[in-house]
Amino acid sequence: MDCRDMTEFMLSMDNTTDLPPEVEQHLRGCARCRREFDQWAVAVGSLRIESGGLEDSALTERVMRAVRNEAPRTEEQPTPLRNWIIVGTVLLGGVFGLRFSDVMDWLRTSFGPAIDVAMSLILGVFLTGYICMLVASNLSRVLRVFRLR
């Protein structure tokens, strides 16, 4: 066993692992590895946790309460109104553009004039849902506009 093998063994061994004979033999013959192993053993020994841990539940509760009180409050960041307006404009343009597109002409020839009513209902429901989401996500702004809040 050489010094590199010894270092790899130290890094891979468990705290409770007994030393194999070849490691003990190397440690007896190599002062540098013996020093490193002793330092490593002291460091690992200082990391051991005593059984029992924190038994004071009141202390745990006080710490957790302090953490909750000091934790930064995160407020919901509403989507900028500019984004809502841009997407709404694109949707509205798409709805009006669909009326005059070749796709709508094909649908009219395939399904008859009833497709206009169906498309109007579907797109109306879609736009109504979009407007409801806009108002719900920006309710504080809407109330400020109407001075209700």
- Domains of the chain, by residue range, sit at 3-47, 81-145
| pLDDT exceeds 70 at position 40 | yes
- Output the pTM of the full model: 0.41
What's the count of helices (H) and strands (E) in the chain, helices before strands?
8, 0
What are 66-92's pLDDT values in tens digits?
887 776 666 666 677 788 889 889 988
CA distance 65 to 69: 6
Mean pLDDT to the nearest integer, 13-24: 76
pLDDT tens digits, 56-66: 677 888 888 88
Residue 111 CA to residue 38 CA, distance in Å, equals: 87
pLDDT (mean) for 14-41: 83
For 93-135, what is each residue's pLDDT tens digit? 988 888 888 988 898 899 988 888 888 899 889 889 998 888 8
On the 0-12 / 13-18 / 19+ scale of CB atoms within 10 A, 104 is middle
Calculate mean pLDDT across residues 35-41.
Answer: 87
Query: 139: pLDDT confidence band, cut at 50, 70 and 90?
Result: confident
Q: What pLDDT is recorded for position 49? A: 60
Helix, strand and coil in the chain, % to nearest 5: 75, 0, 25
